Amino acid sequence: LGMEVYGYDPYISVDAAWNLNRGVVHCVNLNDLLRKCDYVTLHVPMTPATRDTLNEKTLDSCKDGVRVLNFARGELVNNQAMLAALESGKVSCYLTDFPAPELLGVPGVICTPHLGASTPESEENCALMAAQQLRDYLEQGVIRNSVNYPAFDLPKTAPCRLCILHENDGADLGGMVRVLLEDCGIVDTHRNERGGVAYTVVDLEHRPIDQASESLRELQGVLRLRCL
């Protein structure tokens, strides 16, 4: 942006220093940087040592009319000290994506959401999606966006659906089919795998009798069975 850039990092390594742009002026302490800069932007983690990095004392060291950008962590700036600095004119503008209640609507403060996707509309849509996905799993055996189950997203093709979660290599799938063929009538079968877990879905003309379901549960490697 054509600016003169000053930087301060008390923990900078030799390797990191070699990778710095030659146009960056290295400041030996924070106050040295604050006295020189018209814009101050923070890029540090929040730790006990960095909490309130910008407080009443450090803000007082800034140039009059400084603009502060904080997109790292809200706790790096003491909000009460910042509000006082804004009121006095020491700080002309504070931009942050940690919109604490006391900052909202204050002249000179521009707040944006730290997670840009978290709008009221997206939160509502996410809740609806989560409810829909849970309903589809409970009613259809459909699995979407799971962190540990294999994905499966096909509608039922018969009145009954058997959902079997089993070990990927340990389950006796042939035994499952033989039990089902006795009196249920297989219409369609699907199997997806993820890591050491497999998910087998069987659509049936008739619901298995209790004895058949118990036989399936006792097969080697079967972890869970549901009949929908």
Give me the active site residues, please: 73, 102, 114
What single DSSP character describes residue 54?
B
Q: Are 78 and 52 in contact (CB under 8 A)?
A: yes
Residue at 57: amino acid letter: K
Parallel/antiparallel/unpaired status of strands 66-70 and 39-42: parallel
**3 state SS of 200:** strand
Residue that has been written with the tokens 């509309």 in this structure: 121
Q: Is the dihedral of CA 172, 173, 176, 177 positive or negative?
A: negative
Q: In one letter, which amino acid is 154?
A: L
Q: Are strands 5-7 and 197-204 parallel, antiparallel or unpaired?
A: unpaired
Rounded to whole angstroms, the Cα distance separating 22 from 131 reads 53
Q: What's the start-to-end Cα distance of the chain, in Å?
A: 61
- For 191, the 3-state DSSP assignment is strand
